[in-house]
C-alpha cells in the first residue's frame, strides 16, 4: 500500500515511525527541508522527495503541512481519486475539498504528540460518503501510533483538539508545577523530576488498572483534615477544576476561530 506524506514534521514523523514498525506500507515523504528528508530516509528507510508524484486511486495521501501553508502546498496535486487523510488543524473537509479541486474522499484526523511513542490517541472524522473500507484503512494507519476514536460530527475535531490534542501540554504544565513545588521543598532538580514523574506514572497506571472513577481515586487518597486534604482544599479555593474547564473551552474556541480564518471564502 503506497502512502505519501505531504510534509515531514513531528506528527508526520510519529506516524511514519508507527507504520514502519508495523510494516506493510510503502512510504514516501515529500518535504522541502533537506535535513528532514535525510533524517527520515536514514532513520526509517522511507523514500523522500521534494515533489509529490501523480497519484493513483489506490494510493493514500496524508496532508501534514502547516494549515496556513496547505492551499499553496496542494496546488496542482493530481489525486486521481486517492484517499486523503488530513492531520491539519482548522481545515474543514469542505475547505480541503476546495483546495483539492472538489475532491471528496477525505478523512480528518486529530492526533496528539504521544503518537511519537505509540501511545497516542487520535480523533477521526469521515463524512457520510466515505466507505467502510476507507475508514478501516485510515484507522489501521493511526492504530500504529496508539488508540483511535471516531467522531460523529466534524465539529468534534475542534473539541477533541482541546482535550487530547492539546491535553499533553496540560499534563506537562502540571508536571512542571509539581516539580517546581518539590524544588521549593528542598529537593534537587533531579530528585524533583524523578519524584514528579514517578508519582504521575504510578497514579495514571493505578487509574487505568483499577477502572475506578477519578473522583473516587482522589477520595481514596484524601483523609479529611489530612495532608492531601490540605492541598486539595487550596486547589478548590482557587477553583482549579473550573480553571481547567475554562482552559479547554478557550482551546476549542481558538480551534473554531482558526477554522473560520482558514476558510477560503
Clarify whether residues 61 and 185 are in a common domain: no
Cβ contact 95:263 at 8 Å: yes
Is residue 265 domain-resident?
no
- Beta strand pairing call for 26-30 and 2-6: parallel
Please report, for the domain that includes residue 212, its CATH number. Answer: 1.10.3730.10
pLDDT tens-digit map of 61-77: 999 999 999 999 999 99
CA–CA gap between residue 142 and residue 124 (Å, rounded):
9
Based on the fold, state whether residues 218 and 197 are members of the same structural domain. Answer: yes
Q: Please name the residues in contact with 235: beta carbons below 8 A apart, sequence gap of 6 or more.
A: 241
Same structural domain, 24 and 138? yes
Taking the C-alpha atoms of residue 156 and residue 114, their distance in angstroms, rounded to an integer, is 20
Q: In the listed set 125, 154, 183, which residue is the last one of a domain according to the structure?
A: 154
Both 172 and 150 in one domain: the answer is no
- Tell me phi and psi for residue 60, to 5 degrees: -125, 130
Q: DSSP 3-state assignment of 240?
A: helix
Task: Read off the C-alpha cell for 244.
Answer: 481547567
Q: Is residue 140 part of a domain?
A: yes
Residue spans of alpha helices (H) in 100-226? 132-143, 156-160, 167-184, 189-210, 214-221
- Three-state DSSP class for 7? coil
Lowest mean pLDDT among 65-74, 100-109, 178-187, 256-265: 256-265
- Residues 10 and 137 both lie in one domain: yes
Conformational region of residue 5, where left means phi above 0, alpha means psi within -120 to 50, and beta covers everything else: beta
Enclosing H/E stretch for 246? helix 240-262
Among 133, 154, 175, where does a domain finish?
Answer: 154
CB 146 within 8 A of CB 114: yes
Q: Give domain status of residue 211, yes or no.
A: yes
Name the packing angle between helices 167-184 and 189-210 (round to 10°): 130
Number of domains in the chain: 2
- Measured distance CA(170)–CA(261) in Å, rounded: 25
C-alpha cell at 110: 486529530
Left if phi > 0, otherwise alpha if psi is -120 to 50, otherwise beta: which for 76?
left
Whether 263 maps to a domain, the answer reads: no
Residue 63: count of CB within 10 angstroms of its CB? 26
pTM: 0.91
Task: Give the CATH number, domain containing residue 34.
Answer: 3.40.50.720
10 shares its domain with 118: yes
Confidence at residue 1, expressed as pLDDT on a 0 to 100 scale: 86
pLDDT tens per residue across span 103-150: 999 999 999 999 989 999 999 999 999 999 999 999 999 999 999 999
Residue at 261 is within a domain = no
Q: What is the pLDDT of residue 81?
A: 96
162 domain residue, yes or no? no
Same domain, 182 and 73: no
Is there a contact between 198 and 187 (Cβ–Cβ < 8 Å)? no
Query: Which residue range(s) make up the domain with 50?
Result: 2-154
pLDDT above 90 for 263? no
Shared domain check, 142 and 181: no
Assess if residue 15 is contained within a domain.
yes
Q: Tell whether 221 and 183 lie within a shared domain.
A: yes
Question: Which of 126, 154, 182 marks a domain boundary?
Answer: 154
Give strand pairing partners of 4.
28, 61
Over its C-alpha atoms, the chain yields an Rg (Å, rounded) of 21
Q: In the chain, what percentage of residues exceed pLDDT 90? A: 96
Residue 264 is assigned to a structural domain of this protein: no
Say whether both 117 and 175 belong to one domain.
no
Residues 144 and 175 in one domain: no
- Tell me how far the alpha carbon of residue 4 is from its chain's centroid: 19
Q: Are residues 11 and 136 in the same domain?
A: yes
Pairing assessment for the beta strands 120-125 and 60-63 based on DSSP bridges = unpaired
Amino acid at each position: 500500500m503506497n502512502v505519501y506524506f505531504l510534509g515531514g514534521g513531528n506528527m508526520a514523523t510519529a506516524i511514519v515511525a508507527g507504520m514502519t514498525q508495523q510494516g506493510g506500507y510503502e512510504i514516501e515523504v515529500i518535504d522541502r527541508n533537506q535535513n528532514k528528508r535525510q533524517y527520515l530516509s536514514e532513520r526509517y528507510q522511507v523514500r523522500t522527495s521534494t515533489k509529490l508524484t501523480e497519484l493513483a486511486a489506490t494510493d493514500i495521501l496524508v496532508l501534514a503541512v502547516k494549515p496556513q501553508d496547505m492551499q499553496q502546498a496542494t496546488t496542482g496535486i493530481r489525486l486521481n481519486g486517492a484517499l486523503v487523510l488530513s492531520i491539519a488543524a482548522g481545515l474543514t473537509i469542505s475547505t480541503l475539498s476546495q483546495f483539492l479541486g472538489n475532491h471528496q474522499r477525505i478523512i480528518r484526523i486529530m492526533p496528539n504528540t504521544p503518537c511519537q511513542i505509540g501511545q497516542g490517541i487520535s480523533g477521526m472524522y469521515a463524512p457520510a460518503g466515505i466507505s467502510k473500507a476507507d475508514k478501516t484503512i485510515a484507522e489501521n494507519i493511526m492504530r500504529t501510533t496508539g488508540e483511535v476514536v471516531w467522531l460523529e460530527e466534524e465539529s468534534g475535531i475542534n473539541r477533541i483538539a482541546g482535550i487530547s490534542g492539546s491535553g499533553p501540554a496540560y499534563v506537562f504544565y502540571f508536571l512542571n508545577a509539581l516539580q517546581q513545588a518539590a524544588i521549593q521543598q528542598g529537593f534537587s532538580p533531579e530528585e524533583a523530576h524523578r519524584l514528579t514523574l514517578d508519582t504521575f506514572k504510578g497514579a495514571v497506571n493505578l487509574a487505568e488498572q483499577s477502572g475506578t472513577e477519578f473522583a473516587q481515586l482522589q477520595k481514596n487518597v484524601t483523609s479529611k483534615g489530612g495532608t492531601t486534604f490540605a492541598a486539595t482544599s487550596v486547589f478548590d479555593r482557587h477553583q482549579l477544576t473550573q480553571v481547567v474547564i475554562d482552559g479547554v473551552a478557550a482551546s476549542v474556541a481558538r480551534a473554531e476561530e482558526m477554522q473560520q480564518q482558514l476558510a477560503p471564502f
